[in-house]
Amino acid sequence: MFTFFSFYFIDLRFDPACCGPSLFISDENTTLKKNVDNGTWYTCRIANAEWNKGAHYWSMRILDKGAGIVMIGIVPTDFNTSLAQYPGQTANSYAFYVWNGTKYGSGSATAFTTDLPKNNDVIGVLLDLEARTLTYFKNGQIIGTAFGEIPIQDNIKYSPAIGLHSFGAWVSLIKTIK
C-alpha cells in the first residue's frame, strides 16, 4: 500500500553538471540522449532531487530505447557520473535494466520482470524511503517492487538517475504529481 502525504507537481530536470560524456541534454534539461556510439555506459543524475527520507515518484517516457540498453534508477549523491558506470553497478545504487528486465542493486543482478518497456512507454518510479523500497510502473500499471531494505543513513541521499549505453537511446522526463 502506498501512502502519499501531500501532492504537488515535481518538475525534475537533468543536471548538466552531473552528466557523463557522450550524453546530450535538451528541451530545457528534460530530455537525455546518447549521441555517441562508443560502447560505454554513462549516467546522468536528475538535478533538483536529493532525498534521504519521504516517498518520491517520478516518471519518464522512453522515446527510443535504442538497442534497449537503458537503466532507470537511483544513485547516491557521491556517484561519479564522469566514470563509465551505470546505476545499480556501485554501492547504494539501484536500477531496472529495460533491455532484459533485470534489476541491479549494489553491483548484483537478479531477474525482475518479463514485462519489458517499449518505445513510447512511460516508466514510473516510486522511491519510498520510509518503507525502504523502490517500485516500478509501466504506463500506470505496477511492474513490481524491485528493491526492499534500501539503506537509509543520514549521510546517504539518493537522486534519480538514467544510464544509457546504446547510441540513440533517448528518454524524456515527465512533470508528475507527487
Alpha helices by DSSP H, the chain = none
Q: Domain for residue 65, yes or no?
A: no
Please give the single-letter amino acid code of residue 131: A
Q: Domain for residue 68, yes or no?
A: no
C-alpha torsion sign, points 161, 108, 157, 132: positive
- For residue 131, give the H/E element and its range: none
Cβ-based burial of 64 (10 A; exposed 0-12, middle 13-18, buried ≥19): middle
pLDDT at 5: 44
Averaged in consecutive runs of 10 residues, what is the pLDDT profile of the chain (178 residues)?
A: 49 92 95 93 90 93 89 95 95 95 96 96 96 97 96 92 94 80
pLDDT at 6: 44
| CA nearest neighbour of 172 among 19, 63, 98 | 63
Q: Domain for residue 70, yes or no?
A: no
Contacts of 101 (CB under 8 A, 6+ apart): 111, 112, 113, 114, 115, 116
Q: Domain for residue 130, yes or no?
A: yes
Q: Domain for residue 123, yes or no?
A: yes
Q: Domain for residue 2, yes or no?
A: no
Domain hosting residue 99, numbered range: 9-60+83-177
Q: Locate 102 and state its grid cell.
A: 533485470
pLDDT at 58: 94
Q: Name the strands in the sheet holding 108-111, side by side, starting at the edge strand that comes first in the sequence.
A: 14-19, 42-46, 158-164, 70-76, 94-97, 102-105, 108-111
- For residue 66, give the H/E element and its range: none
Q: Domain for residue 153, yes or no?
A: yes
**CATH number of the structural domain spanning residue 56:** 2.60.120.920
The total domain count for the chain is: 1
Q: Domain for residue 4, yes or no?
A: no
Q: Could you tell me the end-to-end alpha-carbon distance of the chain, in angstroms, rounded to an integer?
A: 16
